[in-house]
Amino acid sequence: MVEHGDIRVVHRGGSKIDFRQPVITNDSRFLLCASGECVKVFSTSTEECIHDLQGHTDLVTGVLLRPSNHLQVYSCSIDGTVRLWDFTDGILIKTYVIGCPVYSIYASANHEGVIFIVVPMLGDKRSELFQLVAVHLPQSGDQLVESRELSAVLSNVSSNPADIAFGRGGEYIASAKGLQLKVFFFKKQKSYEFSLKEDNKKGGLNTFTCVACHPKDDCIATGHGDGKIRLWRNFNHKKEYTYSTLHWHHNAVSSLCFTPEGTNLLSGGVESVLVQWRYNQESQRDFLPRLGAAITHIAVSPDGALFCTSHSDNKITIIQSCVKVSAVIQGLVKGDVQTDLIVDPRSKALVLNGKPGHLQFYSLQRDKLLYNLDIVQQEYIHELGLEQFEVVKAAFDASGTWLATVEERKQKSAELEVNLKLWAFDEQTQSFVLNTTISAPHEARITAMCFRQATDSQTTMLVSTSKDGHFKAWQLATPAHTEGPSWSCDFVGTYHGLVPECCCFSADSSLLAVSFQEVVTVWSPTSWELLTTLSQPPGAIRDLCFGRLSCSKYLLGTTAKNLLCCWNLLTCSLEWSTSMDISLLLADPLSENMAAFCCQAGCTDLFVFKPSEPRPLFSHKAVCSGTVTRAVFAPREKMLDSCEENSQWLNRSQLHFLTQYMDLMTFTTKAEDDRLMASSKQLVIDDSVAMTPFYLLLGKHRHQQQENQDPMSSLSAERTPLPQSSVAIKELLQTPAHVLPSTSFLCSMFVQSLLISVTDLRSNHSERHYPQMEKTWNSGNQQHLFQENPDDHQMICRLHLPQLRSICT
Amino acid sequence: MASFKPTNIPVYPKLGEKVTQDTLYWKNYKAPVQIKEFGAITNIDFSPVTPHNFAVTAFTRIHIYGPFSQEPVKTFTRFKDTAYCGRFRSDGQLLVAGCEDSVVRLFDVGGKVALRMFRGHTKAVHVTDFTSDRYQILTGSDDYTCRLWDIPNATELNVYQEHTDYIRCGITSKLNRDLFITGSYDHTLKVFDARVDKSVMSMDHGQPIESLLLYPSEGLLVSAGGRYVKVWDLLKGGQPLVSLRNHHKTVTCLALSSNGQRLLSASLDRHVKVYSTTNYKVVHNFDYAASILSLALAPDDESIVVGMTNSILSIKHRKSPEESREISGQQRRRPSYRVFVKGKNYVPKQDDYLVSKPVKQYLAKYDKQLKKFNVSKALDCALEKWIRLRNPEVPVAVIKELDRRGTLKNALAGRDEQQLSRLLSFLIGNLVDMRFAPVLVVAAEMILDIYRSILGQSPVIDRQLLRMQDLLEREIDYQKELVEVLGMLDTMFASSLPKMEVPCSSVSRSNGLSILIQV
């Protein structure tokens, strides 16, 4: 066995962004959301991810703007810390160690220096009971602060962050769990409890699902499991409370949110419709339907101009005051993947099931969803128990000009509906356009589908095998009359009435192998002659693969009875076989290598081998738990030049696979990791600096100088000051022209102001010791550069201007 | 917000004729002019000179029609008995015709009385033609002989007595004045050279020959007899080239379209078939009301003239380019179009500020209802009469969509007698259509489930349900028969194929309906 040395299994992209409620910043320019172990900062206008706030070591469970400073944000995590970030620059300011997992975080402007978090009741992780505690954040200069002084506010609360909300001005906090609503008043230090009955007669479900409080009025809105929204009033009395009920949603309300002025209430649920209720005129409501998937969270920007909704298909929609969707941030949709993982030969994107009825094209290099291709092209109706069309198979031809998809829908009463669709790539729109729909291509479920691989052949051919015992070859018919070319059936084949399970074309497309239970039949696709049959009973064939390049004479098959067989097609005999329980066998299209995922004792092992060699090139024990059923070799953009024996197989393409829990994993080498790290350091997106002529002049100049003098300081911590705000220039620009001295005088002065660079060295050096401190108390406006500057020229400059002005006036 | 996705109406392949260049070309004729003659029209011949009058031989007369007149411009009536084969000379001045009374008459096109009478045949003369030097006449008769006559002297030049049955067709070469070909009921066609006394070539057609045709190059000869049209290569010594069997009754007449690209054959089975002369495939087909005896094409295919046994002459004129354009133009120039397009073709100038307007999505009526989840109304909209009758795939698609949404039962339930009978009549019309059957069977089952309780309350509904039952029973019988046929075919295929690995017994059993379409 070969040791795996420096090759690691890593997560690659596609993290969830719909886990917790996103946050829109005060200026509505950025959107922050928890995503796995980091917080992502997106631009609301361009939908691009600007940077990740990385530092947490476990799942991030909440993001919250700091009430006292709108440029800072708190994040909490299961790892037991709350961190404070400067999100514009992506700098970690402080880390508060709480000591037990934090599930959600709340704060109010009225409670200065206090945050409220939800932690497990007894402080241990396994506990099912949670409590809301207040944490006093100690004022300290250190970066790492221990703050373990927790004072309990409410016990037995829900861990769902939507179930707790601060009331008007932070006077009270409302928490709902099960059938109980608790309101805790901070002034009185007293809590009131309101209970609902389990169930009313019409199949209602009164459990609370979410809570929101009106910002200006004493009103609490609660969402319920049966789609009702209750507005509670007068709740500072134990007995005389009232509530009114709104009902539009037909299923549980998953999120409620008041707009900042309290004029509107937004609600969303599984219907994927955003409902806007007028506060106090609840009969008037507006709808924003067809948002794509069930709404999980709703957030409103502090100025009320933007709404954003998170959806269960890993998507965030940004909406301009409830009329128009302005941007959609879409992550990798993780649903039930039924298609194999495929790589689009044209865009090199990973293709798999996305939203219901769609295929998603996901760029592995950029970790970005390129687009969704609507395969089913039907209005998506969400209803429980309704059978939907699902895309179950997809295949690309070698050049990426054709895409074949199979969608099916099984109803209890009716027979199986299957559609085979063929899509042609349209150069103009750079997308796939439906060419042919074949309804009921087979009488039963399609088991496998593959395109003929040869790029040089004139005709493209698709072979599909089905449970009805036939395999069919489909061909692009030449344009018969005025309409364009379309696909039609060319050949139907059977073998003794057995059911075909998989099919595979050889590398040069001269052979087609179709497995019929335990028999492999080899056909010639040109004449449709049955050339030979290969059989290795017992056990039905599970996977078939032809070797590539120098190994193209080999045909490999795995059987259900734990056998991996390799046939030599020149001699039509078994070359070798070995006993392994292989769940997935796949061939690298760019090399001779084959990868076999082998399931053993609840874990999956990986073997990479060449069919011609008896020894595996690489093996990795326990890649992940559970079986791996989907994997793909994705070609690299740039070839690696590793010459170590065990990592050579990763040179041309990279192996990606999906685990049981739908995590997309890949294999990387150490060299590659190092390279990635290096490149990420350089990639600091600097977008808050306005590009002014002065910036071009001054900024560049200063930049160079900083690089020269201080290679130690990290670039992200160091920002060039905004040149517009430097006092000399501001005065120079803002003073009316008629009061300014002559241009020749000013010119020399201006040029002199540029000369600071040489003497600035020392002062800059002294500041560099506290780059982060500087950030905290002075972000953006960096006058101190001039104030602390001992240079004479600067002083003259600063002194002269006001004097000159006074003389002139 | 994603927009509403309208119901997908599947496009079903159109069965039957495919639109090709040929169908467009041959369909581009006006409605036929029909003229009643006195008897069966045995021959039609176009004058080779403009204005391309044509002579129609029918009963005891020969009428000459102008290219556009519907009245004969000239009539020759001096026949004692039925006239045959009135043909123009290549200068269009003279006309020759045979007759049942065995006399061949030569007319001046301007005159009335015969210029010459050629007597010598002993039986009816069915074939007459001028040789290419214009001074001789070829005749063929039921007395088994064919003769050459000199026009100036009205004397018989030669007699050929090689055929052993009636001679019913003959043609002279346009390039060689001495060459002519005759076809006879003795199944042979013979090529004669006037310079020798015997035929120089003889070919066996296999059926009594009714018509002959030479290609303009005169390398190929086409003969028609029985149900067959055969093409012979004269330059290869009369080798048969193709045998076409596309008619199911005797082929009576042949013609070439003027550019020589298409061959036309007319038959007693009332069809005119158009073949491509490159691959001899039928590219178009005309239907006529009665058995066709004669067919002629004007130069440049300006008109098709067909004579039939019921003594009707049908003349089709080609549409002029303006006329054919007018029709397509009419559809485009609707009165509302100009209003519709008003201001839309305005090109913004450089300084104009563009205010973008959201594009409005136009939805069909049923889609508007579906968007509002009004399922019953959506089904009603789709079942409106003109939609239901003209494109039944629309209601079927809506029913399918409702079924997918799980609301088909709601949409079908709660209908009054009139609505239900409309639904049932649609089902009766389309239930056995194999394209719609899978969807409509589900709907039919639901209707029966829902309205079981009201059976016997309305005579209209009861009658319709009985009709539906009847229809289904017939369909089941039909399917059974088809499966039997399929089984027979399978055994035949299996026995006819060579013994080896047979990958071909592939037509699945329940695919009977697709066979039905092919048949």
Find chain A residues with C-beta within 8 A of B438's C-beta.
414-415
Pick from A669-683, B76-90, B486-500: least confident? A669-683
Find chain A residues with C-beta within 8 A of B446's C-beta.
none
- Rounded to whole angstroms, the Cα distance separating B334 from A98 reads 77
Find chain A residues with C-beta within 8 A of B3's C-beta.
290
Nearest C-alpha in A relative to B405: A381
**Residues written for chain B:** 519
Pair of tokens at residue B192: 């004669």
- Rounded to whole angstroms, the Cα distance separating A400 from A393 reads 16
Find chain B residues with C-beta within 8 A of A470's C-beta.
506, 508
- Rounded to whole angstroms, the Cα distance separating A299 from A670 reads 41
Tell me if chain A has a CB within 8 Å of the CB of B5: yes
Find chain B residues with C-beta within 8 A of A494's C-beta.
503, 505-506
- Rounded to whole angstroms, the Cα distance separating A53 from B364 reads 49
DSSP 3-state of B417? helix
Question: DSSP for B216-234?
Answer: TTSSEEEEEETTEEEEEEG
Which value does ipTM take for this structure?
Answer: 0.72
Give the pTM. Answer: 0.67
Range picked from A681-690, A717-726, B150-159 for highest mean pLDDT: B150-159
- Identify which of A415, A470, A530 has the shortest CB distance to residue B501: A530
Tell me if chain A has a CB within 8 Å of the CB of B518: no
Please name the residues in contact with A793: beta carbons below 8 A apart, sequence gap of 6 or more: A752, A753, A755, A756
What per-residue confidence (pLDDT) applies to A38?
85
Find chain B residues with C-beta within 8 A of A481's C-beta.
18-20
Pair of tokens at residue A191: 């809590």
Across the range B116-130, mean pLDDT stands at 92
Task: Give residue A456's pLDDT band: very low, low, confident or very high (50, 70, 90).
Answer: low
Determine, for residues A414 and B508 on separate chains, whether the beta-carbon distance falls below 8 Å.
Answer: no
- At position A36, the amino acid (one-letter code) is G
CA distance B340 to chain A (A): 28
DSSP 3-state of B83? strand
Find chain B residues with C-beta within 8 A of A415's C-beta.
438
C-alpha distances (whole Å) from B312 to each of B289, B307, B309 are 9, 6, 7
Pair of tokens at residue A476: 């692009």
The number of CA neighbours under 13 Å toward the Cβ of B322 is 0
Task: Give residue B128's pLDDT band: very low, low, confident or very high (50, 70, 90).
Answer: very high
Determine, for residues B506 and A492 on separate chains, whether the beta-carbon distance falls below 8 Å.
Answer: yes
Find chain A residues with C-beta within 8 A of B405's C-beta.
381, 383, 386
- Rounded to whole angstroms, the Cα distance separating A596 from A584 reads 6
Task: Give residue A190's pLDDT band: very low, low, confident or very high (50, 70, 90).
Answer: confident
Please name the residues in contact with B516: beta carbons below 8 A apart, sequence gap of 6 or more: B434, B482
CA distance B498 to chain A (A): 13
Look at residue B96 and tell me whether its pLDDT is greater than 90: yes
Residue of A379, A382, A419 to mutate, testing the B interface (most B Cβ within 10 Å of its Cβ)? A379
Give residue for tokens 């740039």.
A638
Across the range A644-653, mean pLDDT stands at 78
What per-residue confidence (pLDDT) applies to A728?
65
B258-293: per-residue pLDDT in tens? 778 899 999 999 999 999 988 899 999 999 999 999
Task: Give residue B17's pLDDT band: very low, low, confident or very high (50, 70, 90).
Answer: low
The number of CA neighbours under 13 Å toward the Cβ of A107 is 23
Pair of tokens at residue A341: 């993982």
Interface of B with A in 429-448 (CB under 8 A): 438, 442
**Beta pairing class for B72-76 and B61-65:** antiparallel
- At position A377, the amino acid (one-letter code) is Q
Task: Give residue A779's pLDDT band: very low, low, confident or very high (50, 70, 90).
Answer: very low
Look at residue A54 and tell me whether its pLDDT is greater than 60: yes
Residue of B23, B374, B398, B404 to mutate, testing the A interface (most A Cβ within 10 Å of its Cβ)? B404
Find chain A residues with C-beta within 8 A of B508's C-beta.
443, 468, 470
DSSP 8-class letter at A650: G
Contact predicate A351/A394, CB 8 Å? yes
Tell me if chain A has a CB within 8 Å of the CB of B406: yes
Interface of A with B in 432-491 (CB under 8 A): 437, 439, 443, 468, 470, 480-482
Residue of A288, A378, A496 to mutate, testing the B interface (most B Cβ within 10 Å of its Cβ)? A378
Find chain B residues with C-beta within 8 A of A495's C-beta.
503
Find chain B residues with C-beta within 8 A of A315's C-beta.
none
Tell me if chain A has a CB within 8 Å of the CB of B465: no
Tell me if chain B has a CB within 8 Å of the CB of A426: no
Question: DSSP for B430-458?
Answer: HTT-TTTHHHHHHHHHHHHHHGGGGTTS-
A411-438: per-residue pLDDT in tens? 766 678 899 999 999 888 888 998 888 8
Pair of tokens at residue B484: 């039997």
Nearest C-alpha in B relative to A414: B442
CA distance A530 to chain B (A): 7
Cα–Cα–Cα angle for A386, A390, A396, nearest 5°? 175
DSSP 8-class letter at A699: I
Find chain B residues with C-beta within 8 A of A386's C-beta.
405-406
- Identify which of A292, A439, A492 has the shortest CB distance to residue B2: A292
Nearest C-alpha in A relative to B406: A386
Pair of tokens at residue B474: 């017939």
Task: Give residue A123's pLDDT band: very low, low, confident or very high (50, 70, 90).
Answer: low
B148-198: per-residue pLDDT in tens? 999 998 899 999 999 999 999 999 998 988 999 999 999 999 999 989 888
What per-residue confidence (pLDDT) applies to A93?
87
Look at residue B219 and tell me whether its pLDDT is greater than 50: yes
Across the range A138-149, mean pLDDT stands at 79
Task: Give residue B512's pLDDT band: very low, low, confident or very high (50, 70, 90).
Answer: very low
- Rounded to whole angstroms, the Cα distance separating A315 from A328 reads 7
- Identify which of A386, A409, A443 has the shortest CB distance to residue B508: A443
Tell me if chain A has a CB within 8 Å of the CB of B2: yes
- Rounded to whole angstroms, the Cα distance separating A333 from A315 reads 8
> Average pLDDT, whole number, for chain A?
79
Inter-axis angle of helices A792-808 and A743-754, to 10 degrees?
160
Determine, for residues A290 and B4 on separate chains, whether the beta-carbon distance falls below 8 Å.
Answer: yes
Cα–Cα–Cα angle for B295, B297, B299, nearest 5°? 160
Q: Which residue from A255, A186, A265 is spatially nearest to A22, judged by alpha carbons?
A: A255
DSSP 8-class letter at A725: G
Across the range B54-73, mean pLDDT stands at 90
Pair of tokens at residue B450: 């829902």
What per-residue confidence (pLDDT) applies to B204?
93
Question: DSSP for B173-188?
Answer: -SS-TTEEEEEETTSE
Q: Buried (b) or exposed (e) across A314-346, using 16+ Cβ within 10 A?
A: bbbbbbeebeebbbbbbbbbbbeebbbbbbbbe
What per-residue confidence (pLDDT) applies to B507?
41
Nearest C-alpha in B relative to A492: B506
- Rounded to whole angstroms, the Cα distance separating B394 from B379 reads 10
Range picked from A84-88, A318-322, B272-276 for highest mean pLDDT: B272-276
Find chain A residues with C-beta within 8 A of B7's C-beta.
378-379
Contact predicate B146/B167, CB 8 Å? yes
Task: Give residue A712's pLDDT band: very low, low, confident or very high (50, 70, 90).
Answer: very low
> Average pLDDT, whole number, for chain B?
86
CA distance A519 to chain B (A): 15
- Rounded to whole angstroms, the Cα distance separating B512 from B484 reads 10
Pair of tokens at residue A55: 């530092």
Residue A376: other Cβ atoms inside 10 A:
22
CA distance A302 to chain B (A): 23
Determine, for residues B507 and A492 on separate chains, whether the beta-carbon distance falls below 8 Å.
Answer: yes
Burial bucket for residue A23 (CB in 10 Å: 0-12, 13-18, 19+): buried
Q: Which helix (H) or strand (E) holds B388?
A: helix B385-390
Please name the residues in contact with A240: beta carbons below 8 A apart, sequence gap of 6 or more: A234
- Rounded to whole angstroms, the Cα distance separating A119 from A124 reads 9
CA distance B107 to chain A (A): 50
Contact predicate A43/A326, CB 8 Å? no
- Rounded to whole angstroms, the Cα distance separating A34 from A23 reads 9
- Identify which of A289, A389, A493 has the shortest CB distance to residue B1: A289
% of chain A beyond a pLDDT of 90: 11
- Rounded to whole angstroms, the Cα distance separating A262 from A214 reads 6
Determine, for residues B405 and A383 on separate chains, whether the beta-carbon distance falls below 8 Å.
Answer: yes
Contact predicate A768/A774, CB 8 Å? no
